[in-house]
Amino acid sequence: MAERTRLTAVETVREEGSWLFTIEDRHGDREEVILVPCEDDGAEVEAWVNVCPHEAQRLDPGFGATIREGGIVCPRHGSLFEPCTGDCDNGEAAGTTLRPVETVVELGSVYLVDEDARFRHAGGIGSGDGDDGDDDMPGSTSHIGF
């Protein structure tokens, strides 16, 4: 699966504070990933699976991750994750670490290079290419799902 895909510009991640995209693993399972600015050790951005490891809470609900005091905020409990390491040392998620996704930066562009991931689309699951696996299902105007 080692295919190199351009995701976005580093400047876009800095301006927006985070950038959400969807990947697919070798089994066809999809996951959301967030890119966040990182200034440590020369890294410009880091990529993390979009889930707090404490209670499977999405860090970016689809309109940007909350960044406070330089940390990624879990919206459920307010725990802060260090954007360069993924580590959390406070709140309910203390002692946990976000799961990384491998990227590289070259000439101001961010590329997905993770051997176990294939780029599907920008945005979260269900917001991209219309290939969410339920396209053959009829729509419903009711609030009740089947």
| Confidence band, pLDDT 50/70/90 cuts, at residue 142 | very low
Domains of the chain, residue spans: 5-122
- Amino acid of residue 59: L
pTM: 0.84
Assess whether pLDDT exceeds 80 at residue 141: no
Say if residue 136's pLDDT is above 90.
no
Identify the three-state secondary structure at position 42. Answer: helix
- Position 128 scores a pLDDT of 63
Separation of alpha carbons 37 and 61, rounded Å? 18
Rounded Cα–Cα distance for residues 37 and 4 (Å): 20
Report the distance separating Cα 64 and Cα 72, nearest Å.
Answer: 10
State both tokens at 18. Answer: 């985070």
Cβ atoms of residues 92 and 86 within 8 Å: no
> Which superfamily is assigned to 5-122 in CATH?
Rieske [2Fe-2S] iron-sulphur domain (2.102.10.10)
Instruction: Report pLDDT digits (tens) over 9-63.
Output: 999 999 999 999 999 999 999 999 999 999 876 779 999 999 999 888 999 999 9
Q: Are 51 and 57 in contact (CB under 8 A)?
A: yes
